[in-house]
A and B are shown apart, each in its own frame.
Chain A
Amino acid sequence: MRILKLYLHPLWNARLLLIYSFLSGFAILILAPFLMISLRSVGKGWFGKLWFPPEFTLQWFQTAIDIGNIPQVLGNTALIAAIAVAISTTIGILSGWAFGRRRLPGKEVLMAIILLPRMIPPITYALGVAKIFYGLDLVNTYLGVGLAHVSLCAPYAILVLSSTFEGLDERVLEASAVCGANTLKSFFYVILPMVLPGILASMIFTFTTSYNEFTLTLMTYGPDTVTMAVRTYLAIGEGYVEITSAMSVILVVPSLVILAMIQSGIQPEKLVGGFKGV
């Protein structure tokens, strides 16, 4: 026992070292895959047991843009995301107001029902969505793919916005009424500035959801509505690792921008509420 303690003592003294080796292992595990992708996308002649590519080139990006039709795909992705964000934010504002500010019988149950699409794996209802959209000729249209994304985005918008509206201080609204603002005025000058951060947050999160959404897109896309996620998946199937890596780098940039944005403004823990679309 004494001997064990003698051995353990230096270990306890070196706990900072242990902590940092754990943390650096964690950092390597998270970052190295992305580093490898980005090196792949600019490396040339990287074969065998080499740690780094011997030559650098931008030709894979060129190929990806030419053959992979990236500009159009990016346009598709943005348009579909815009449709999904617009529809789900509208739904979120209306229903968020009802959930946050109105007396509603069985509020918890209603909210749980609304959040169901985020708890069930998307593939289970993506089949039905695809089947219905085939019947309505919505497959391979921007509206169709955007609508399919709404099924995942809307619950999140409602969740975020109802808590935003719930946090509105009743006294400020009363104060604006006392000061003689009519409904329209108090909406534009009092309510809107107060809820704008919440609306923006909800828009950012729904955009990310739509941008990353793969399952529902895969079931409803067509040749004219290929999104970045689907394009990358197809490229992985085609098997040209370098070109796929170049596409992935393009695809990952907006996510990192958004990550930087929320890091400066929004607490990371809040993100957990928005179960990522798988």
Chain B
Amino acid sequence: MLQTWRKYEHNATTWLLLLPAFASFFGLFAYPILVTLIQSFRPEGQADGFTFENYINFLSDPRGRDVIVLTFVLAIGTTFFSLLFSIPLALILRDKVRGHRFFRLLALIPLMVPGLIGALGLLLFFGSRGWFNLAAQALPFVTEPLTINYTLQGLMLFYVWLYFPYTALTTLSALEGLDRAVEEAGAVAGANPRQVLRYLIIPQIIPGVLAGSVLTFMTAFGAFSIPLITGGDYRPLSVQIYKEISSFIPAHWSAASAMAIVMGILQVAALTLYMRLLRQRQVR
């Protein structure tokens, strides 16, 4: 009897310890989402009523669909280019070249510095009077300043700048976890460096690398500060939601809420799909 009571008491303390965490989870996350969900079914500007209009308006509007497509293009493109950039970078930094500590530190900077400042700096650097264009105009065949800011390519570049560290750092730690003896065995068995890379290194690190790229995808999908400042006319979902609130008086709460719900669902769906694909790869 006493034993059961002790066990019960023990359990009760555990749940009591977890209480603040769940309070903050429900109060600051679950309940706000519920409020948003309810709001998304209210007719615009009314306190009650029920309508699907907000969703229908958003999803049937070609501009609404463009916004969703743009968000996915940016997120997937960023993931792809981050991978393309991170794998060589990690392969180089793994070999402990001179100054590798400095370059590792550099890869952390976009993570630590507020995104706003990164965005401002990039706008200045790639602007028509920035160093990038000054250097480009020193080349013989470039006469006009290259336009990078406020274009889709530029926005993608900025995204990669800000979000590649997730991929780069996980790739690096996956590479460092490898047993070098395997590569040496491969080399002894007569594989050239390219073959070692293709058949020994890449297959081993792929699970870790793709897991890291999930983080890049996730953050790029929800990116807010970079497209808000540097996007110009290219507005992904997050910015579009904010514009519904900030640029209308009275604010379009219901429309914004519907978009927020759509965005949350898309994010969860994309992540689930990505994870499932990853797991299938690993099983094979």
Contacts and interface: CB of A to CB of B under 8 A. Distances in A.
A255 interface: yes
A31 B32 contact: no
Contact of A36 (B130, B221, B223, B225): B130
A30 B110 contact: yes
Contact of B112 (A94, A229, A255): A255
Contacts of A147: 28
Nearest to A37: B121
Interface stretch (A63-71, A117-125, A174-182): A117-125
Contacts of B130: 36
Interface stretch (B33-41, B58-66, B147-155, B181-189): B33-41
A272 B17 contact: no
A276 interface: yes
A104 B15 CA distance: 9
Given A150-B28, A241-B124, A269-B169, A127 B241 contact: yes
Interface in B1-49: 10, 13-15, 17-21, 24-25, 28-29, 31-36, 39
Interface residues of A, number: 85
Contact of B223 (A128, A211, A278): A278
A115 to B, nearest CB: 10
B204 interface: no
A124 B124 contact: no
Interface string A27-39: 1011111101100
B196 interface: no
Given A30-B106, A120-B222, A271-B169, A131 B116 contact: no
Interface string B96-107: 010100111111
A121 B92 contact: no
B97 A19 contact: yes
Interface residues of B, number: 87
Contact of A121 (B20, B212, B224, B245): B224
A122 B36 contact: no
Contact of B264 (A29, A47, A120): A120
Given A128-B32, A252-B113, A117 B25 contact: yes
B234 interface: no
Given A36-B131, A124-B261, A151 B24 contact: yes
Contacts of B109: 30-31, 34, 259
Q: Is the interface of A mostly helix, strand, loop or mixed?
A: helix
A214 B17 contact: no
Contacts of B226: 278
Contacts of A150: 24, 28
Contacts of A123: 222, 224, 238, 241-242, 260, 263
Interface stretch (A54-62, A186-194, A243-251): A243-251
A132 B26 CA distance: 12
A116 B21 CA distance: 12
B78 to A, nearest CB: 12
Contacts of B124: 33, 36-37, 40, 241, 245
Contacts of B112: 208, 255-256, 258-259
A131 B17 contact: no
A76 interface: no
A123 B166 CA distance: 21
B17 A129 contact: no
Interface string A89-100: 011001101110
A127 B117 contact: no
B267 A94 contact: no
A51 interface: yes
Contacts of B238: 121, 123, 215, 278
Contacts of B132: 32
Interface in A136-173: 147-148, 150-151, 154, 158
Contacts of A110: 18
A147 B28 CA distance: 8
B73 interface: no
A218 interface: yes
Given A36-B130, A97-B17, A236-B229, A19 B92 contact: yes
Interface in A9-58: 19-20, 22-23, 26-27, 29-34, 36-37, 40, 47-49, 51
A223 interface: no
B256 interface: yes
Interface in B130-157: 130-132, 134, 137
A23 B28 contact: no
Contact of B106 (A26, A49, A99): A26
A32 B131 contact: yes
Contacts of B134: 49, 51
A114 interface: yes
22 contacts: A29-B161, A33-B122, A47-B129, A49-B134, A94-B18, A95-B21, A98-B14, A98-B17, A117-B29, A121-B224, A122-B222, A123-B222, A127-B39, A127-B256, A128-B31, A131-B35, A147-B28, A151-B28, A259-B105, A268-B108, A272-B215, A278-B223
The 3 closest A-B pairs by CB, nearest first: A121-B222, A33-B121, A128-B32
